[in-house]
Amino acid sequence: MKVMHLLPSLASGGVEQVVLELCQGLTEQGIENIVVSAGGAMVPAIEEAGAKHHLRPIGKKSLFTLLQIGKLAKLIKTEKPDILHLHSRVPAWVGFLAAKRLPKNQRPRIVTSFHGFHSVNFYSGIMARGERVIAVSQCMKEHILENYPRTKENDITVIPNSVDTEQNFPEYRPSAEWLEKWYTDYPELKNKFTICLPGRITRIKGGLHLPPIIKALKEQGIPAHAVIVGETKKGKEALREEIAQAFAEAGLSADVTWTGHRRDLRDVLCVCDVTVSLTLQPESFGKTTLEALALGRPVAGYEHGGVGEQLDIFLPAGKVPTGNTDAMAALLSQWYHQRPTPKLPVAAPFRREDMIQSHIALYKELCQ
């Protein structure tokens, strides 16, 4: 079997990580993987996973991207994939239109993955038009059924994203060398109650909710300190400045640390006291929160979306009414005095091997 994955780029992020994990797991099962994207820092990892990468600008929202349809059709004809797996909207349009250019007996079977709560419109509807549609959480399946009624429920499969339990487990601890460098780079974090907000700097991540939360904790005498872990993508610099200004206006400029993108996120999640999810819109899944929970670290999050589903399983006490910074601060105040430990179910959900096998089963069903 051969699978071709289409996504905008291989910079960093949840979708890119899922594609990398699929390439690793599918390759181990003898399935050939081809990845088509505009490239990025994760290309070497994709190739190390045994996948072939083709550089194509198929993710930009531009009429010029339509010029890639013919080129992609030729690539599909050459590579002859059995499955065309579409992971994002613009590449999905390019992939669908490219496949239509081929004779019916030469077209791959098409799978789409809903990785996020996109705006509901015709453009986003392409993600509901796969022969099989993967929802990464139960709430995502409900979103598809509610907003894209032409998609049959039997054609939707819930396959949650995964966590590598061999890498993320409660007994894991960063090395002494790593800790020494961490506190050398960020000495302001010593002896602080560190609140980690992981993820790219985007408005829906809720970074502007951090200043009032930190302020409320400090007013109680708690040495709270925000640790914002994630890259500021081009075009989002103004948002970062807005968040920094909010900390400054609250008198908290010394109480926030910006680390930028980190390749050692596991260690960062492990060393911080609490990871928070402040997304103003429901997240389809929430990979970093799952990793923190698997590491045995407490997570407090707004109660909607995939993060809410994770907390239902691992740490129900971590659910906070969406947007309520006072309630979030009150919960974190409790946890400062007595930090909870997530409950790890005996039949562990979200295992990587289960995610891989579920994809293989779906691919095989289509091919047969």
Rounded CA separation 12/49 (Å): 16
Closest to 134 in 3D by CA, of 162, 106, 107: 162
Say what percent of the chain tops pLDDT 70.
Answer: 99
Quick check: 364 and 31 in contact, CB under 8 A? Answer: no
Give the mean model confidence (pLDDT) for residues 350-365. Answer: 92
pLDDT in tens, 21-30: 999 999 999 9
Alpha-carbon dihedral angle through residues 341, 345, 349, 353, given to the nearest 10 degrees: 100
Quick check: 36 and 69 in contact, CB under 8 A? Answer: no
Give the mean model confidence (pLDDT) for residues 158-173. Answer: 87
pLDDT in tens, 317-335: 999 999 999 999 999 999 9
Rounded CA separation 81/323 (Å): 45
Using the predicted structure, report yes or no on whether residue 316 has a pLDDT greater than 60: yes
In this prediction, residue 282 carries a pLDDT of 79
Using the predicted structure, report yes or no on whether residue 346 has a pLDDT greater than 70: no
Predicted model pTM: 0.81
3-state helix, strand, coil in the chain (%, to 5): 45, 15, 35
In this prediction, residue 229 carries a pLDDT of 94
pLDDT in tens, 213-260: 999 999 999 999 999 998 887 777 899 999 999 999 999 999 999 998
pLDDT in tens, 93-120: 999 999 999 999 999 999 999 988 888 9
Using the predicted structure, report yes or no on whether residue 5 has a pLDDT greater than 90: yes
Q: Mean pLDDT of all residues in the chain?
A: 92
Quick check: 129 and 96 in contact, CB under 8 A? Answer: yes
